[in-house]
DNA sequence: GCTTGTTCTGGTCCTGTCGACCAAAACTCT
DNA sequence: AGAGTTTTGGTCGACAGGACCAGAACAAGC
């Protein structure tokens, strides 16, 4: 606790944002291609320096806006800090990592220069099929684990889908994030039973190319802070 | 993503450790009294500067050892980063916050200068009966919430008790952290049913001053990563 | 128009879990 | 010995969750 304000080790502080989305039924993460050394040309999580005048949350929000143009993120959660001495070969950098969960940002990404930004399946990153700069692999791993927990504890699931959605869409979120298969009927019962979480709009969705009965459209109700309708514990152990 | 290594805003990076323990049946937090400005004489969470050569986890471990002498913490978890521009009036300080859960450290604290370290009930801090320096109140609040979640998801409960313990001791941990009342018989069934989590030693504990049947002594088995024996969801809603 | 295929919706059944409650066991203290 | 206390073990009922089935509502093909 010896505390000398004039003499302290200086660090660079950055904010990295793991932007996750559902696309084509699988969980994807937004990556950018680095234009400079070190790790030039390699994929990385978007991020940048924190400014002295802003809070960490504000910095994350700014980085997200700069990268995707999304201004009001439905979910932006801090989940970890990384400060290993050798994580950046140039200097001492401590980074604060955030998760942003967005509705499909495929259009946004396509709008930017397609060469330096892309949506990549999370599984490809975890399996090492895509190598990331710095310790970003570890950050993505931790982010996924956090999303898995958050999915059970909070209303984060609706952040993956649009303003209105079918229960089948919502179900694919759980299935993709947890890597499980859920019974459509049972899922429906659990979600609808949780009072006030999803609100029927009365309208119906257009069936997909394969036909099928049109699904009811719902919109997100209040998000709870504890205890979602779907739990994953037994599922994992038995699988 | 413009990234100029030679020109970046410099920050001080500190590591703060919220040390929690069970004492006299209630949840307590270890606080130190500040000896210097700002906030001189006020209670604060122990912490200090991160060194450029160590990782964040190592820094937290070092701070914990310096403060309590405990070298092998049963639990030391990073749970948040705080970097509001005005959180330290002197300069830009980003702090990484850790939780350390320890078996009763009352003896350790008594060993140090009693004037500048003390175990304080967490509830007193949350209710504002004890004012903390910086944004440490918020940090303690977040720490408690994290412990509550962790208690359900991991084997953290055994970190609060000693090497061997009775199920009644373990039950008071859940009751104190969650603020609930649990049925002793049901608690026992749940915990013992979880295979391999607590291991009976065959020995028995001495009954307390009020007498009563002597309880079996257990020791901690493996800690699981997901899905503890006790859940709190319905409990909270009904209470 | 009818059939087939697909998807969503609603229902039943069954098992396991969890809380409430009760009773016996094993100790201390008077 | 008896009262009080705490642990341990058991029963019972409510309820949630998963497996499974059937009907409803659409598209596409013949």
Contacting residues of A for B92, CB less than 8 Å apart: 52
- Total length of chain A: 239
Q: Measure the CA–CA gap between A162 and A28, rounded to whole angstroms.
A: 16
pLDDT classification of A190: cutoffs 50, 70, 90: very high
Q: Note whether A77 and A147 are within 8 A (CB).
A: no
Kindly report the nearest CA distance between residue A59 and chain B, in angstroms.
10
Which phi and psi (to 5°) does residue A196 adopt?
80, 10
- For A9, the closest of B52, B85, B236 (CB atoms) is B52
Q: Measure the CA–CA gap between A49 and A27, rounded to whole angstroms.
A: 27
- pLDDT of B234 reads 47
Q: Measure the CA–CA gap between A212 and A232, rounded to whole angstroms.
A: 28
Q: Note whether A49 and B8 are within 8 A (CB).
A: yes
pLDDT exceeding 90 applies to what percent of chain A?
A: 58
pLDDT classification of A141: cutoffs 50, 70, 90: very high
- pLDDT of B235 reads 45
DSSP assignment letter at B182: -
Q: Is A187 helix (H, G, I), strand (E, B) or coil?
A: helix
Q: Note whether A231 and A180 are within 8 A (CB).
A: no
More confident residue, A21 or B211: A21
Q: Note whether A175 and A148 are within 8 A (CB).
A: no
Least confident of A63-77, A86-100, B25-39, B56-70: A63-77
- pLDDT of A229 reads 66
Give the list of residues 6+ apart from residue B216 with CB closer than 8 angstroms, or none: B166, B167, B200, B201, B202, B203, B204, B205
Q: Note whether A70 and A105 are within 8 A (CB).
A: yes
- pLDDT of B95 reads 98
Residue with CA nearest C1' of nucleotide C9:
A185
pLDDT classification of A72: cutoffs 50, 70, 90: confident
Task: Give chain A's domains with CATH numbers.
Answer: 12-134 (3.90.79.10), 157-238 (1.10.10.10)
pLDDT along chain B (239 residues), means of 10: 63 96 92 88 94 96 87 86 95 96 75 74 96 96 94 88 94 93 94 88 87 90 67 46
Q: Measure the CA–CA gap between B180 and B215, rounded to whole angstroms.
A: 22
pLDDT classification of A111: cutoffs 50, 70, 90: low
pLDDT classification of A42: cutoffs 50, 70, 90: very high
Distance of CA B53 to CAs A96, B56, B223, Å? 18, 10, 31
Average pLDDT on A228-237 reads 56
Q: Measure the CA–CA gap between B33 and B45, rounded to whole angstroms.
A: 9
Average pLDDT on A99-120 reads 76
pLDDT exceeding 70 applies to what percent of chain B?
A: 86
pLDDT at A4 over 70: no
* B235 Cβ contacts chain C strand, under 7 Å: yes
Residue with CA nearest C1' of nucleotide D10:
B185
Question: pLDDT tens digits for B44-59?
Answer: 999 999 999 999 999 9
Average pLDDT score, chain A = 86
**In sequence order, which ranges of A69-121 are alpha helices (DSSP H)?**
106-111
Q: Note whether A13 and B60 are within 8 A (CB).
A: no
Residue A184's nearest nucleotide, by CA–C1', is C8
Question: pLDDT tens digits for B164-191?
Answer: 999 999 999 999 999 989 999 999 999 9
More confident residue, A213 or A230: A213
Strands A164-165, A198-204: parallel, antiparallel or unpaired by DSSP? Answer: unpaired
Peptide bond connecting A38 to the previous residue in cis, omega within 30 degrees of 0: yes
Give the list of residues 6+ apart from residue B42 with CB closer than 8 angstroms, or none: B33, B34, B131, B132, B133
Residue B166's nearest nucleotide, by CA–C1', is D7
Q: Measure the CA–CA gap between B82 and B18, rounded to whole angstroms.
A: 14
CB atoms closer than 10 angstroms to residue B104? 16
Average pLDDT on A213-229 reads 79
Is some CB atom of chain A closer than 8 A to the CB atom of B112? no
């Amino acid at each position: 606790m010896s505390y000398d304000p004039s003499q302290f080790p200086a660090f660079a502080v950055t904010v990295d944002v793991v932007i996750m989305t559902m696309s084509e039924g699988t969980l994807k993460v937004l990556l950018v291609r680095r234009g400079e050394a070190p790790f030039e040309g390699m994929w990385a999580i978007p991020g940048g320096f924190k400014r002295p005048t802003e809070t960490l949350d504000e910095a994350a929000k700014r980085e997200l806006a700069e990268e995707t143009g999304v201004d009001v993120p439905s979910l932006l959660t801090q989940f970890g800090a990384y400060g290993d001495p050798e994580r950046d070969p140039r200097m001492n950098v401590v980074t604060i990592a955030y998760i942003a969960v967005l509705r499909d940002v495929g259009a946004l990404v396509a709008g930017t220069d397609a060469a330096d930004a892309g949506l990549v399946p999370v599984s490809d990153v975890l399996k090492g099929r895509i190598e990331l700069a710095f310790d970003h692999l570890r950050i993505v791993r931790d982010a996924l684990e956090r999303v898995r927990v958050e999915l059970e504890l909070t209303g984060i699931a609706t952040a993956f889908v649009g303003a209105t959605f079918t229960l089948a869409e919502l179900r694919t979120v759980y299935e993709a994030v947890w890597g499980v298969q859920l019974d459509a009927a049972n899922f429906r019962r659990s979600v609808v039973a949780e009072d006030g979480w999803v609100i029927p709009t009365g309208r119906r969705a257009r069936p997909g190319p394969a036909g099928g009965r049109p699904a009811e459209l719902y919109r997100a109700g209040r998000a709870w802070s504890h205890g979602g309708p779907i739990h994953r514990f037994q599922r994992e152990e038995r699988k």
